Structures are given as structure tokens and as C-alpha cells.
Structure 1
Amino acid sequence: MPSYKAPLRDMRFVLEQVADLERLRALPGCEEVTTELVDPIMEEAAKLCEEVLLPLNRSGDEEGCHYENGVVRTPAGFRDAYRMLREGGWPALHCDPEYGGQGLPRTVSLLFEEMMCSANLSFGMYPGLSHGAYTALHAFGSEALKALYLPRLVSGEWTGTMCLTEPHCGTDLGLIRTKAVPEGDGSYRITGSKIFISAGEHDLAENIVHLVLAKLPDAPPGVKGISLFLVPKFLPDGQGQPGARNGVSCASIEHKMGIKASATCAMNFDEATGWLVGAPHKGLRAMFAMMNEERLAVGIQGLGLAEISYQNAAAYAKDRLQGRALGGTRYPEKPADPIIVHPDVRRMLLTMRASIEGCRALGLLTALEQDVATRSTDPATRQEAEDYVALLTPVVKALFTDLGSEAANLGMQVLGGHGYIREWGMEQYVRDARIAQIYEGTNGIQALDLVGRKLPAHAGRYLRRFFHPVLDYIESRGEDEAMAEFILPLSKAFGRLQQCTAEVARRGFADPFEAGAAATDYLRLFGLTALGHVWARMAEASLRGLEGGDADFHKAKLATARFFFARILPQTGALSAAILAGGETLRAMEDAAF
């Protein structure tokens, strides 16, 4: 069975020396967020993930969920693990104290999310979807709905879902057919079918709170006619306890490539009682609050799977004896050298490591901006942070999941034939990682969101939230000789990004097909440049850290940084060339010729 140790040292490094704890502590409600507070929380989180969730990962994958007559049972051990999660207060980590939450910043809760995704992604889906429901209800629910439902979602007593997709439509939500008919008493009757509903039915919690997109009888056509409704599995009684069964049922569960222990359900709503969340016909706004939270969370799924894949690949490479080093025997006392000496194995491991550590830093910086956006008392500061998060959300979702899938495949490759065999556990990470590139909006949709919505928004205001700090950083370190090996390649990549941004904007304005043709390559170019920025900041911090008592950690960090700038960031040159080539080669072939 694969092993896992939470990367607490690297998490502390990013949190304390890259993400700027002082800026976090300046926010209301974060004054006491110190290393003395955070370290014990993260150590306890690591114990839960390493000792409770990890041992259930393979067995959960092999057993999967069970469906019979509308009832879904999770694999053996999941109910006890969920009880321990609840008793430890983990679902409440990032939630509002007014509803029983612990009020910790997103910057801290994100570290726990990564550990949970590494240890057992399927299990993490259940509390993960609940937090998305909490986010939408907290932002848009009526006071009555919040008072009744939020404390139970925060405690983990009840869980939540998001019900968007229907059999005939996914991304194009304007085509949904689920109907909501007003009852005259403030409630609605919801009728329709939804598919691919994660955690739609299970045996972990007493009740399940579904957030459902539907259309009112007077709804205008398309996305402008979508409303959001809260539909519980059991209708709460006068004491707020689960009462009568609502008109909600699970028709089936999907048999999937990965995340087999996460119940992915087809759900039927048969005149189910529900309540409006937010304003009529404005459900998409409320749902996107939930979806954007989930898109960032899905990015962390890619990061978490990459981390555990790397740990096990690196351990195997140091243990597996095969051949001799190309430059001569390295371990003469052994019958063969461990495969860690071979250049291609080192290339794969360093590629994984550079992606993981870069994504962790970029993810934490994005979470910090989320905290600023929700907690700062200065409207201008909040707006700047909101703009940054809006811009980076599609990048984090797509880049992290692409790199996570690539890392899982590299990890399997390091183990060779053993990686392909279930016994070693690596093939599960390949299967589990693949869905993250698809759900919560495919990565192609994320790329279209970046070039079609975020780039032109507010005359380029979103872009300035990223471009200006990166340019300021490059210029402020331009005379620092120790930083030259990092700043010069970052400057080149940033120049390519600026040029391609201008060209995509120009061509896309005249012909949207051109923007779409460039979108995926542009998102990767943007993402690699963003990783270059955080890697330069990490390298700068480790140059300072060489004089301290943890020199080995900082030497390894600098070695990984040098690999990133020499072997990964140059990919921006090829991406730039592909973007500037335009979309004609995509348009030229007739549809029938495919």
C-alpha cells in the first residue's frame, strides 16, 4: 500500500515565508493566526489523513459504493472516519463562527484540503461538496434558511450537494428542464432529473441538502431564467431534525474510472419541496459562488494526488536496484544502483516536484487573496483581491489538474511495470486524477472563461491585478545578481505572456474563433508564468534561508527552482509560437473529414 506523510515542512515554508502571514494577521478575525496556532492544527490534520483516511483509500477504491433500491452505502470504514472528521470539528475549520464555525482563514483550511485529497480523494468529496453548499447558502440564503441549515452543514451533521447537470445538458445550463412551481406559502415544488451529482445519496450524514438549479413558470429563456433552490432529502421538523422524506430519490450510481468510493448519483426530484436561494431568475450568480469555490478546491485535488504520487515514486526510485549509473557505479556495495541515479528518472521526479511545490505556493497565495476579499474592511482592497481570485480561478482549476494528472502518470512511469499493477497503488492515482480535468467545468471551458470573460472584463482590470505585481517584482530584483538566474527567464516568459495577451485580445475581438483556438495554450502559458513568479519568490526566500539552521531544505528548494527555470518554464516559448500561429489550421478541415 502506498505511504503518505503530510508535507508540513514545505507547507510552513510557503505559509510563513512566501504567503506573508503578517498580511493575513492584519485582517479582521485573523489576528491570532500565528505559527503557534496553525502548527498544532496541521499536525492533527496530518494524523487524521495519514492514520485514518489513507488506510481506507485502496479498500474504498476496491469496494466502491453500493446501491440498492435507492439506498447508497459507502465502503467499509467510511462512516467511522466521517464520524471522526465531525468530532474533530474539521468541517467547521473555515466556516463563520456565527453558525458554529472556527473562523480560520481559507489560507489555513486549504492546507488541510490538500492533505485530505492526497490521503483519500473519494472521502474528501463528501465534506468538500458540503462546503460548496455552505458557501452559496451563506452568501445568498435568507436569514431563516441560514439559521436552520448552516449550523448543521458547518458541524457536518448534514451534508450538501450542487445539482446542475441534466442528461441532455452540462455546461449549457440555459437548456435545463427542471421546473419549480410556487406553492403560495413560500415553498416550491421541484420536478426534474439531475445526473453526475457527487455525494447525492450516502449513509454518512442524517440529512443531505441539495442546491438545485431549476426554472420558474415565468422564467425568461436561457441562463437568465435560472433560479436556485434548497431541497433537503428529509424535511426538517419543528425542532430542526430530519422529518418526513422529501420527493428526492437516487435512481442509480455511476460506475466510474476513478474516485469509486465517492457516490456519483443520478437524482430524481418528484414534486420535492424546496425554497428559493437568492432572487428569482438569479440562481446562476448564487451557483457560481459555489462553483468558483469548488473550482479552486478541484485544483487542490490535482495538487494532492500529485504529492502522494511523487512521495511514492521517489521512495521507490531510491529503493529499486536496476543497472548502473551512466557515469560509473555510484553504489559499489550494491548489486546494482538504485534507479534514482538515472537521468530520466530524475527528470520525472523533478518535474513532479517542481509542479507540486509551485502549485502549492500559487494555491496558497490565491487563498490569501480570498481571505482579503472576504475579510478586508477597505472596499478598494477587497475589490483588488476579488479581481485576482476571479482571474486565477480558471488557471488554478485547469493548470493544477492538468499537472496533477501528468504527475500521477509520471509517478506510475517511475515504477515501470509495478506502477501498472494494482498492488502498488499508483494506478489508482492515475484513475482518480483524471476526473478533475473534467468536472466543475472541463479545462477547455476554464480556458474559454479566461480568454473570453476574464481578459476583457472591465477593460482589462482583472489582468492588471496579476500583471502589475509581476512586473514590479521583476523590476525590483533586476539588479540583484543572486536572483539573475531566476529573474531573467521569468522576464522572458512574462514578455511572451504580454505579447500573446495583446494578440489574443486583438484577434478575439474581431473573430471569437481565434480566441477559442488560442485558449488552452494561453491558459498554460499564463499558468507557467504564474508558477515562474512564485518560484522566483520561493528561490529568493531560500537564498535567505541558506544562512539559517535548515540549509538542506533550502538547498533542495533552490535545486528544484533551477530545474523549473531551466527545463519547464522554457515551454512558454513553444506555447507562444502556437498561440501566435492563429486558429486557421483548426478551422481548415471540413467537419465531415473528421
Structure 2
Amino acid sequence: MPYRAPVSDFQFLMDHIIGFEQVASTEHFADATPDMTQAILGEAAKMCEEILTPLNRAGDLHPARLENGIVCTSPGFAGGYDAIATGGWIGMSASKEVGGLGLPMTLTTSVNEMMSSACLALQLSPLMTQGQIEALEHHASDAIKELYIPKLISGEWNGTMNLTEPQAGSDVGALRTKAEPNGDGTFAITGQKIYISWADNDFTENVCHLVLARLPDGVPGTKGISLFMVPKLIPDADGNPGTKNDLRVVSLEHKMGLHGSPTAVMEYSGATGWLVGHAHGGMAAMFTMMNNARLGVGTQGVGIAEAALQQAAAYAHDRKQGKAPGTGAIIEHADVRRMLASMKADTYAARAITLMNAVAIDMALATGDAGWQARAAFLTPISKAFCTDVGCEVAGTGMQVHGGMGFIEETGAAQYARDVRVATIYEGTNGIQAMDLVARKLMDAGEAAFRILEEIEQGAEAAKATHPELAEAVWQSAESLREATEWLVAQDELNDRFAGAVPYLRAFARVLGGHAHLASAVKGDASRARLATFYIKRMLPEHVGLLAHAREGADDLMAISTDDLVA
């Protein structure tokens, strides 16, 4: 069905909820005027609606394929990619110093969400490239920056990240890929990598692989890992793609979804690579790319949720069945209304969280303030985990709204569920995100968390003048979350934190969603107030059970023996 970009939601959130005016008022982002913001959102919406959306089904039905060592992409993907590249959408947030537009991450996040809704399989390619650009900006030598970044920004070349190996999934430190010095400043990269998104295509001139590998003197574990640029075609003296490097696509994975996105097994056989950053400093450099991608992946979850919501709502509006009042369409049934309302309320909450995260990233860049940096770091795992969970849940509920037709592939409802499922897994599973939240992100004794909670409570206090019942519920939820955070910070045994990490992260997201909905009720129209009432009264109370779980510790969990769990 046709997709309509939720431009009004983006604009409303930026104007009234997430504090985007702070970003636009900085000298660094002075170009992000209201007129420019509106123009960018409008042009991106037009591209996504008219060019990318028609490609979504084609990518599912006609997957990327490997023929004689060449990856052939889905019908129409080359044209779609060209529209993304020539429109300047890849380098939106890259700095002007390297040829980017220097626009806020908040705008890039909004555009990435639209592209994810329209065609997630294709959107993965520019997302990987955006992350690589940021990693190179921060860590690469001037020579590498000057050669690669302009080509990545223009879309002439695309970027990938190569972490995972068959024996080293989340345990990146177990990798075996080797990097041997060639004696001329380059390195011979040898090893195999798996799950490499957009490792090859038939529409860019070159593919630039960032590869984690271990130098001969690299110690075991993550501290001995270095990062290398390993291009498909070695640039010649003029910077143009030259001779083929010693690497190849071994196979493409047969996946549950995202069929239009080629996910490859890569073999490096003494391929020529260039060190990015310091020797043995590969994880720090790669994490720059991964943190960029984690917000991007959370945004993918929101994008799929929006697309699934639109399709389910349209189906429910037209489908006549049963003895529903009014028009007789199933949207008049209370339970269908409940499903659609929960889908819409959660999608809006998730969108608000990703944009809050993006604002923090923008303010950290524009001001260099440690408080903004800490906030961006704290919100990133929440954005990645909660928003991809929402994508899965909303897509699943969308199938339920369709009834039996949701299980029939021709309606397209099932594709959303299949495509988004991997988002909870890649770029660090959602469980790992939650563990990071309760461990590393609370190493400041909870200071970043408490600052956010203070703002939520202040917002609730102000809202009591117009929406006292809703405001009290949000204030109480923030106070409960404060107490749970204090309890977690007091736990010296990390397992006691980890046992409740996932419910804690979801509870924090629930409260952030309540905060956004409450502010929307105060500053928006009657429609936004009705949706906020639904969320705060029916969905926010979930935080009570989640926090009870989070504060239970690990004893009862670890008391369950392995025999209890294995049939």
C-alpha cells in the first residue's frame, strides 16, 4: 500500500517536544533554520513515497543473488540508491570540512526513519556508509579521509563494517582474522567474516570494507584488535578504482527477511588494507561506527512500525466484518481499536526517543559539553533496544489486525515482521544493550539517568495545571524509576544488575514515552491528547511490573539449574 511520511509528527516533535530549538540556536547548526528543516523533511518524504516505497515488495520477492562471484541486486534498487545518493542524503550529517552538509543528526534520523519505512532493505546501505564516514572522520589519517570520504558522501562508493566471524559473534575479541605488515605501510588481511550487510552490489564503483583484524603483536581479546580499510578495488594514483583486491563474496545468507539486502560471507586472502587509527585501537574506532549504527537501527524499528501501522489502519478502515457499529468496518470493534491505538502510541513514543537521542548527539557535538555526551550515550542503548522491540511488536500486531490475511504474504503485512526481526539482533543484541545500560552507562553513579528523570518530573509538575491526572501518573512513574535506578547503582554484583537489565531498559523507555506523550497532550491538539491519555493510562503502567523484575536481583534466576532449562 502507499506510504505517507509522518512529516507532521517530525515537525511537531522538533517544534514542541524534543528541544530541537537548542540545536538550531547553536553556531554549529545555524543552517538548520525552520525553513530548511521543513524543506528537507518535505523533499525526503517525496523521495521515500514516490521512489523507494515501490521497491520494498520487489526486494522481498526478488532477492539479491550471487552469480559467478557478482552480486546482482533487486530490481529497481540501483535507481533507488541513485536517488538517495544524488539527493545528498548519505552525507547529511558529515561535517562540511569533509564535504558533507553538516546538518544535525536529528534531521538525518528523521530522514533515515522515512527511508526505513519505505524500503528497509535498501536503506541499510546508506546507513552503513554514514557510520563509516563518521568512523573515518574521527580516526583515519588525513590521506584516507581525503581519498575515501568524498566518494562515500557522494555515494559513488559504499561502506561496510566487518566484525563477526563464525566463531566470534558478540565475543568480538575471539576473532582470528590476521593483519601482516607488507613493509610498505600496507597490511595483508587474511580471514573470514560473516553477516556483512551490503558487502557488494552492482551499482557503486567500489565497496569500502572496514575490517577488524589482529596484528602479529596484538594481545588476545579486544585490546589486541586493529581496524583496516580494505577496498574491493584498490584505488590507483589518481584515486580511481584500480586493480581487484584479494577478497571475495563467498556466499549470500538465506535470511528470514530483508531479502533485498545482500548479507555476505566474506573471504580475505592477503587482501591489501590500510590501518585506520592506532595499532590495537580498532575497537574504539569501530565503536564510533557502531554507536552511529545503533541509533540508526533503532530508527529502523520506528520506520517499520510506522509502515506496519499505516497498512493495518488502512485495512481495518476498509474491511467489513461482524456487527460493528457505524461503518461496519473492523476498525469500529473495540479490540481492533485497542490494537491500532497501541501501535500508534508506541510508534510515537519510540520516534520521540530516537529524536531525543539525536538532539543529545547534536548538542554534544555543537557544545562539547560532557553532560550532553553522557545523555547521548545513555539514550543510545534505549533507542536501539526499545525501538527495535517496538518495531517487532507493532509489525506483529499489524498482522493480527489483518487476521488470516496477515499470514498471507500477498498482503505485505508479514514482510514487515520478517524484515524488522533482525534489528533486535544486529549491532549488539538488545540484551547486550540492556547490560550496557545498567553497567557502563551507570558508572557515573546514575547521574545521567537522574538528570533525565529530573526533567521528566519537572515537565509533569508543569503539566498538572492542565492535565493533572496524566501528569501525576507520569511523575509517579519517574519517581519509581528513580528508586529502581538507585537500587541498581547500589548493587556491586553486576549479575544482580544484569538479571533485570532488559525490564529496566524497557521501563525507562516506557517512562520516556509517557513524558513525550504528556508534553504532546499539553502542546498539541485534541487528537494528540487522546492518544496521550491512552498511552499513559493503559501502557505506562507496564513500568510497575518491569521495575519489580529489575529489582529482584539474580539469586532466584541463577538458582534455576541448567537441567531445569534443558528438556
SS in 2 for 1:415: helix
Counterpart of 1:442 in structure 2 is 429
1:223–1:284 contact (8 Å) kept in structure 2: yes
Counterpart of 1:578 in structure 2 is 549
SS in 2 for 1:271: strand
Task: Give me the whole-angstrom Cα distance separating, in 2, the residues matched to 1:450 and 1:313.
Answer: 33
Q: Which of the residues 485, 497, 500 maps onto 1:518?
A: 500
Q: Displacement of 1:352 after TM fit?
A: 0.6
Task: Give me the whole-angstrom Cα distance separating, in 2, the residues matched to 1:257 and 1:231.
Answer: 29
Counterpart of 1:462 in structure 2 is 448
2:331 is aligned with 1:347:
no
Q: Displacement of 1:355 after TM fit?
A: 0.7
Task: Give me the whole-angstrom Cα distance separating, in 1, the residues matched to 2:331 and 2:73.
Answer: 39
Q: CA RMSD in A?
A: 1.4
Q: Displacement of 1:407 after TM fit?
A: 0.2
Counterpart of 1:104 in structure 2 is 103
Q: Displacement of 1:104 after TM fit?
A: 1.4
SS in 1 for 2:445: helix
Q: Which of the residues 343, 365, 374 maps onto 1:374?
A: 365
Task: Give me the whole-angstrom Cα distance separating, in 2, the residues matched to 1:24 and 1:290.
Answer: 22
2:226–2:281 contact (8 Å) kept in structure 1: yes
Task: Give me the whole-angstrom Cα distance separating, in 2, the residues matched to 1:275 and 1:28.
Answer: 35
Q: Displacement of 1:208 after TM fit?
A: 0.7
Shift of the 581–22 alpha-carbon distance from structure 1 to 2, 3 Å rule, reads: closer
Q: TM-score, normalised by structure 1?
A: 0.93
Task: Give me the whole-angstrom Cα distance separating, in 1, the residues matched to 2:284 and 2:177.
Answer: 18
* Aligned length in residues: 565
Counterpart of 1:563 in structure 2 is 534
2:515 is aligned with 1:533:
yes
Aligned ranges 1:31-430 → 2 under 5 Å: 31-325=30-324, 329-331=325-327, 337-376=328-367, 379=368, 382-430=369-417
281-290 vs 532-541, which deviates more? 532-541
Task: Provide, for residues 342-364 of structure 1, a one-character-per-residue CA deviation record: whole Å limited to 9, x for no partner.
Answer: 11101110101111111112211
Q: Displacement of 1:310 after TM fit?
A: 0.5
Unpaired runs of at least 5, structure 2 = none
Q: Displacement of 1:578 after TM fit?
A: 2.0
Q: Which of the residues 534, 559, 564 maps onto 1:588?
A: 559
Task: Provide, for residues 190-219 of structure 1, a one-character-per-residue CA deviation record: whole Å limited to 9, x for no partner.
Answer: 111100000111112100111111111111
Counterpart of 2:481 in structure 1 is 497
Task: Give me the whole-angstrom Cα distance separating, in 2, the residues matched to 1:63 and 1:235.
Answer: 31
Q: Displacement of 1:524 after TM fit?
A: 0.7
1:25–1:31 contact (8 Å) kept in structure 2: yes
Task: Give me the whole-angstrom Cα distance separating, in 1, the residues matched to 2:274 and 2:267.
Answer: 17
Shift of the 28–185 alpha-carbon distance from structure 1 to 2, 3 Å rule, reads: farther
Task: Give me the whole-angstrom Cα distance separating, in 2, the residues matched to 1:137 and 1:265.
Answer: 23
Tell me which stretches of 4 or more aligned residues in structure 1 moved more than 6 Å.
Answer: none
SS in 1 for 2:467: helix
SS in 2 for 1:47: helix
413-422 vs 561-570, which deviates more? 413-422
383-392 vs 21-30, which deviates more? 21-30
SS in 2 for 1:92: coil
Task: Give me the whole-angstrom Cα distance separating, in 1, the residues matched to 2:450 and 2:226.
Answer: 33
Aligned ranges 1:2-13 → 2 under 5 Å: 2-13=1-12
Unpaired runs of at least 5, structure 1 = 332-336, 543-553
Q: Displacement of 1:297 after TM fit?
A: 0.2
Aligned partner of 1:417: which letter? G
Task: Provide, for residues 406-454 of structure 1, a one-character-per-residue CA deviation record: whole Å limited to 9, x for no partner.
Answer: 0000111101011111111100001011000110011011111111211
Q: TM-score, normalised by structure 2?
A: 0.97
Counterpart of 1:545 in structure 2 is none
Q: Which of the residues 479, 482, 488 maps onto 2:472?
A: 488
1:390–1:462 contact (8 Å) kept in structure 2: no
Task: Provide, for residues 172-200 of structure 1, a one-character-per-residue CA deviation record: whole Å limited to 9, x for no partner.
Answer: 11111111112222111111110000011
Q: Displacement of 1:149 after TM fit?
A: 0.4
1:303–1:360 contact (8 Å) kept in structure 2: yes
Task: Provide, for residues 46-105 of structure 1, a one-character-per-residue CA deviation record: whole Å limited to 9, x for no partner.
Answer: 121111111111111011011123211101111122122222222122222222212211
SS in 2 for 1:58: helix
2:14 is aligned with 1:15:
yes
